[in-house]
Amino acid sequence: MDPHRKAIPGPMAKTSLIPSRKITGVNMIGYLKPIPSNKEVKTAHTSTPTVEHRSFPSEENQIYSGQVNVLAIFDLDKVIRCCKYSEDVKEIAVGFADGTIRVLDCSTGACTHTLVDDECRSYPGPVTSIKHRPISDAHPNSNTFVSTYVNGCIKGWLYKYDQCLYTIREKRQTLGLTYHPRFCKFVTYGDDSRINMYDEEAQIQERAFYSSGTRDVIDGHTCRIFACAFNPKSNHELVSGGWDDTVMCWDDRVPYATRHFSGAHICGEGLDFDEPGKQILTCSWQETNTIQLWDYGSCKVIETIVPDTYQSKLYCGRLVPKTSLIVCGGTEINMLRVVDINLKITECSIRNNPGGIYGFDFGRVRRKITLDTGGGWKKISEIGSIPRVAYVSAKRLQIVDFGQS
């Protein structure tokens, strides 16, 4: 018997529980000028929409608030589930609901690589996550992606050669993957309430994290897990969240959760640590308390942020490094927005997207903006410090950045 949930769960992709029909080829849809149908087309705008300026017809009446710069729009012919920039940030991988992954050139929109093998064709399942190992001096650019699928597969790709390096098969729906910030390890999580940790170099499972099953003891998840985040200041600690409305705190030296806090219904990558590793951000798919900051040590809520009158149930969210800003996205007005934690306002937003915002990724910071305050000193605008953001909404991949152009 499936565990009872404490709240109504957030929706999953319609294709997440059934095999997808195989579709071949990608047709990009452009709106700027006629282009032969055999060409892949990118729709791009470089001007900055003004506040509450209604966008071009090609953007399906998206509404921009604040300093939003549309850098590129890719309209594809299949539903996109996730995206990830390459290590050099020159290309971006998108995962589709039919189990294929395509790598697009960020400057031209051309499809440079297609990542699919015979297993993906024979047993298609939506791509749930695409990640690559964090870049460091010890681990330079490897030109690889690791992807997870609803059918339980974990695949490592050498994408420059369209080659699958390895496949790990789990007996569950694998719903996501998170890399360790320093070691060649990653964790996967899914519908069986367990977290598995793997050694990437050996492609073997090292350990698992789960509930002890002890009555009246909460030391593990009881339902689907959708997000994990490693503590940036610890080699052993991580947190996870899912449909059971709890966030579990784990130490990889023990199999059971060491502590937990309740009240966050996580349905996507809506967990993040701040840089000191002392606070946790939760972005929840629920009517209230969608954005909250928690104290990691005490597991007490620090602050609930209600930034504006536009309520949106959130799938994903991340803290912007070295700022007091959050980027988050969700559904039920389908909005991506930038929230200032201190001021508790929405600095920038993109509303009326063609579908819910299921995921996004940070690229490079394009510029730093210095504002003259008129008092003989200058201030660095935090909006200009937000990296470029690539996000997925239905069949659309859109790349934007924020700040004055």
Does any domain span residue 37? no
Angle at 392 between CA 390 and CA 393, to 5 degrees: 140
Does any domain span residue 33? no
Question: In terms of residue numbers, what domain contains 362?
Answer: 53-402
Q: Which residues contact 367 (CB under 8 A, 6 or more apart)?
A: 384, 403
d(CA 345, CA 325): 10
Its pTM stands at 0.82
Does any domain span residue 28? no
CB 83 within 8 A of CB 147: no
Does any domain span residue 10? no
Strand ranges inside 171-258, DSSP E: 174-179, 185-190, 195-199, 204-209, 225-230, 237-242, 246-251
Q: What is the pLDDT of residue 135?
A: 78
Position 337 pLDDT exceeds 60: yes
CATH number at residue 112: 2.130.10.10
Q: What is the pLDDT of residue 18?
A: 40
Residue among 398, 335, 331 at smallest CA distance from 361: 398
d(CA 251, CA 263): 21
What confidence category does residue 369 fall into, taking pLDDT thresholds of 50, 70 and 90?
Answer: low
Does any domain span residue 1? no
Q: What is the pLDDT of residue 367?
A: 59
Mean predicted confidence (pLDDT) in 173-191: 95
Does any domain span residue 106? yes
Q: Give Cα separations from 27 to 30, 75, 268 (angstroms).
A: 10, 8, 28
Q: What are phi and psi of 377, to 5 degrees?
A: -140, 165
Position 174 pLDDT exceeds 60: yes
Does any domain span residue 8? no
State pLDDT tens for residues 111-125: 999 999 999 999 989
In this predicted model, which residue has the larger pLDDT, 52 or 136?
A: 136
Does any domain span residue 262? yes
Least confident of 40-49, 98-107, 302-311: 40-49
Number of domains in the chain: 1
Residue among 158, 164, 155 at smallest CA distance from 129: 155
| Residue 319: other Cβ atoms inside 10 A | 20
CB 241 within 8 A of CB 264: yes
Strand ranges inside 284-335, DSSP E: 291-295, 301-305, 313-319, 325-331
b/e sequence 230-258, b meaning 16+ C-beta within 10 Å = bbeeeeebbbbbbbbbbbbbbbbeebbbe
Position 25 pLDDT exceeds 50: no
> Mapping DSSP to helix (H, G, I), strand (E, B) and coil, where does residue 115 land?
strand
Q: What is the pLDDT of residue 384?
A: 81
